[in-house]
Structure 1
Amino acid sequence: MGSAPSMLTQYDIEEVQEHCNKLFSQQEIVSLYQRFCQLDRNAKGFISADEFLSVPEFAMNPLSQRLLRMVDGLNFKDFVAFLSAFSAKASAQQKIEFIFRVYDSDHNGKVSFKDMLEVLKDLSGPFMSEEQREQVLSQVLEEAGYRKDSYLTLDDFFKVFSRSDLKMDVEVSVD
């Protein structure tokens, strides 16, 4: 499965299902594979950042540049694993771990005020000033029991996000 073959075998499908904790059905895996092959224009076996940007919904996402660092060069198995956080069957824990990885862009296991400010800047664009972003973020952190100089860990994200109803589901169309 390293170089994108034209067909998935039953073994390949089951292997991908195991890799993504069985969050996708066999039909969904086949549909995702078809989409993967469409994106992998040169049949290299992985998807480049440019190929991801060919998906309008991805390119228009305010966090696309941050997400590109997570997805550039994914093979099919890792592509499905990446998408598994968006499965309706994914647990809140899996979704929170994904969100944490989006914020923890330097992969040091903690999220600083600066990290959060960068995400807020990506999300708000020119509609908020730097001062407004800092003010809003400081207030949100304070209300959650944290200070501006706090570093949030994955456990902190669990505490904060477990109180909310996370909706980050994407439906995989099965033809």
Structure 2
Amino acid sequence: MGNKVVTFTEKQLDDYQDCTFFTRKEILRVHKKYRELRPDLVPRQMTEGEASSVKVPREYIEKMPELRENPFRTRICEAFSRDGKGNLSFEDFLDFLSVFSEQAPRDIKVFYAFKIYDFDKDGFIGHGDIKSALVALTKNELTPEERQQIADKVIEEADVDGDGKLSSIEFEHVVFRAPDFLSTFHIRI
């Protein structure tokens, strides 16, 4: 009797369910949230091509209530975007929210946390990355000397191999010692 709009095919939903930590219902809720960001741009029915080619610009993603106040919102968008600029396709957006879900395992969360903190994208967390994180976290309230001291101390404490930077494994060791990591690396949909 009513015209029901089918957002995804059964195969698409199966595929999304297989590669995320979401149920079908949650995937549809994520699509609704994504579409609300730019209803003029995001179609109600998504073909496989559109799910990876239609992109919501980063500035709209950053305005989401869940990210608006997050000092790492730009880096989060960049870490999940295939274009590296923070513009997210539906599939990028789905990955982003899946990783930040309660169901995502700790090791996947750590992998993406590393990508987010790797500001210069060189595969390591160095002094510059730590200083950039400090600027974001403190809204530039620390002096350059204070940022340098903190970066030196972090590297000194966590750099096991003595190369002056943190590898993903060294970063993982630090994060595993942080008891509140899982509760802070989380977005509820």
TM-score, normalization by structure 2: 0.77
Give the match for residue 129 of structure 2: 115
8 Å CA contact 1:19, 1:77 repeated in 2: no
- Go from structure 1 to structure 2 and tell me whether the alpha carbon gap of 1:107 and 1:6 turns closer, same or farther (over 3 Å shift): farther
% identical equivalent positions? 25
Deviation at 1:149, TM superposition (A): 6.2
Between 1 and 2, higher relative CO (CA 8 Å, sep ≥ 6) is seen in 1
TM-score, normalization by structure 1: 0.82
8 Å CA contact 1:13, 1:26 repeated in 2: yes
Q: Check if 1:169 corresponds to 2:186.
A: yes
8 Å CA contact 1:112, 1:149 repeated in 2: no
Deviation at 1:145, TM superposition (A): 4.8
8 Å CA contact 1:113, 1:148 repeated in 2: no
SS of the counterpart of 2:39? coil
What is the identity, as a one-letter code, of the residue corresponding to 1:98?
Answer: Y
8 Å CA contact 2:62, 2:74 repeated in 1: no
Q: More displaced, 104-113 or 94-103?
A: 104-113
Stretches of structure 1 lacking an aligned partner (at least 5 in a row)? none
Stretches of structure 2 lacking an aligned partner (at least 5 in a row)? 43-53
Give the match for residue 48 of structure 2: none
Task: Give the whole-Å Cα distance in 1 for the aligned partners of 2:27 and 2:98.
Answer: 11
Question: Within 5 A, what are the aligned runs for 1:124-163?
Answer: 124-145=138-159, 150-163=164-177
What is the identity, as a one-letter code, of the residue corresponding to 2:57?
Answer: S
What is the identity, as a one-letter code, of the residue corresponding to 1:91?
Answer: P
Moved segments of 4+, more than 6 Å: none
Q: Check if 1:99 corresponds to 2:97.
A: no
State which of 6, 28, 45 in structure 2 corresponds to 1:30: 28
